[in-house]
């Protein structure tokens, strides 16, 4: 597997944000409110992935007190990290589209509250993408240095 490219994540974010903004422009009055529960849910996912990355990194480095990690478990964590990175970028774009639309209507009560909820959700998704990229980086095999090999 190749490492996730942040540029591609940025493209996903921008495309989804623009498509969402265009859709919300047309159908905003018919749409349900953006749920505030996305913020703590996504942040909990980010904390879980960051912790998994921290522990996996320690296990791959074979730090004292840690068990060796199974290669299949690392492959699954990489798949989780890649999926979370792309999913987080897509949902960040979704919430970004809502932020773009509601930013122009801050004088009204409902769009103002949706602006803050969407903005918080956008930030939570960015934190998830960062945690996913950290988990993916933590799953890399360390470089084998010549001086570190046992004789």
List, for residues 99-137, the tens digit of each pLDDT value: 999 998 888 888 899 999 999 999 999 999 999 999 999
Closest CA to 132 of 53, 16, 58, 44: 53
pLDDT tens digits for range 38-87: 999 999 999 999 999 999 998 888 888 888 889 899 999 999 999 999 99
d(CA 69, CA 61): 10
pLDDT tens digits for range 135-144: 999 998 877 6
**Helix or strand (DSSP H, E) at 14:** helix 6-27
- Token readout for 65 is 């007190």
Which pTM value belongs to this model? 0.88
Residue 108 carries which DSSP code? S
């Amino acid at each position: 597997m190749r490492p996730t490219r942040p540029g591609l994540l940025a493209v996903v974010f921008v495309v989804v944000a623009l498509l969402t903004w265009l859709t919300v422009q047309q159908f905003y009055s018919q749409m349900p409110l953006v749920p505030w529960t996305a913020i703590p849910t996504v942040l909990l996912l980010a904390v879980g992935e960051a912790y998994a990355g921290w522990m996996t990194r320690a296990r791959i480095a074979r730090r004292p007190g840690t068990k060796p990690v199974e290669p299949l478990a690392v492959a699954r964590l990489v798949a989780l990290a890649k999926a979370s990175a792309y999913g987080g970028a897509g949902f960040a774009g979704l919430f970004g589209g809502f932020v773009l639309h509601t930013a122009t209507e801050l004088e009204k009560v409902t769009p103002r509250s949706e602006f803050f909820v969407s903005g918080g959700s956008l930030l939570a998704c960015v934190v998830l993408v960062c945690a996913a990229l950290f988990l993916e980086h933590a799953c890399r095999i360390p470089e084998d240095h010549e001086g570190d090999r046992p004789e």
